[in-house]
Amino acid sequence: MKDQPLLGQVALVTGAGRGLGRAYALHLAKLGADVVVNDLTLKAHEEYGEALTADSVPKEIEALGRQGLGVEADVTDRDAVEEMIGQIDSKWGRLDILVNNAGGALFGEKAFKQMFDLNFHGTVHCCEAAAQIMKRQGAGRIVNVGSQAGILASQGQSYATSKAAVIHYTRCLAGELGPHGINVNCIAPGFVLSSRAIAGGRDKGELKDRLVAQIPLGRLGLPEDCAKVIEFLVTDLSDYVTGQTINVCGGYVKC
């Protein structure tokens, strides 16, 4: 169906219990995919008071007429990731889309080990496990989530460096998996109004004004702005695109 190009496909979105990951999961479901929602806890939305339309994100997906599966797992734990991918394989026998969203600037500026474990190694664990199914299928789409900080070094040494590693890993992995029919790309969000960002005051006052003044399009990003770019990267619109990083920043990143 033209309005549901992902009908019959299975997607995994990590860090999808709230915020940007939730937006990606719901958008993919609206496009027809059955979606696996991964997070440390499926109650992640409660931390920042994010209102859901159902008891959990998997339930929201089911309300859209698609199958939703919630898996609580830590992506920094390779064994837990492999168990999650095995669960998906057992249920559906396929995995078409992986969106590596889990991560964030959750530690101090020089907390390199913790930041790399979360942002980089978690992405690697999921890519390596998912690629086994995608290779078997001879097809798949992987979208890693970097950050403008990984391009401009604009937000703390450890976070910026870990996201830069994700961006370069995307290029390397695209070369490795391309011969297997697997596209690997990355998005680099700018200043987006996630529930965590809103809780931190990004949506008002001096902080908002200062950020907006640096954005040519004159507004902060919305989770759906990023979800639409992911739609491009996981549908046939991007069949000949791999190894690329797309800045979703309203023009803030100019390189």
Q: Token pair of 111, please?
A: 């907390």
> Residue 227 is which amino acid?
A
Which residues touch 164 (CB under 8 Å, ≥6 apart)? 146, 150, 151, 153
Full DSSP string of 141-171: EEEEE--THHHH--STHHHHHHHHHHHHHHH
Q: How many helices (H) and strands (E) does the chain have?
A: 10, 7
48 is catalytic: no
User: If residue 29 lies in a helix (H) or strand (E), which one and from where to where?
Assistant: helix 19-30
| Catalytic-role residue among 159, 169, 240, 252 | 159
Taking each helix axis as running N to C, give the angle between helix 19-30 and helix 223-234, from 0 to 180 degrees, rounded to the nearest 10.
50
- Which residues are tagged catalytic? 159
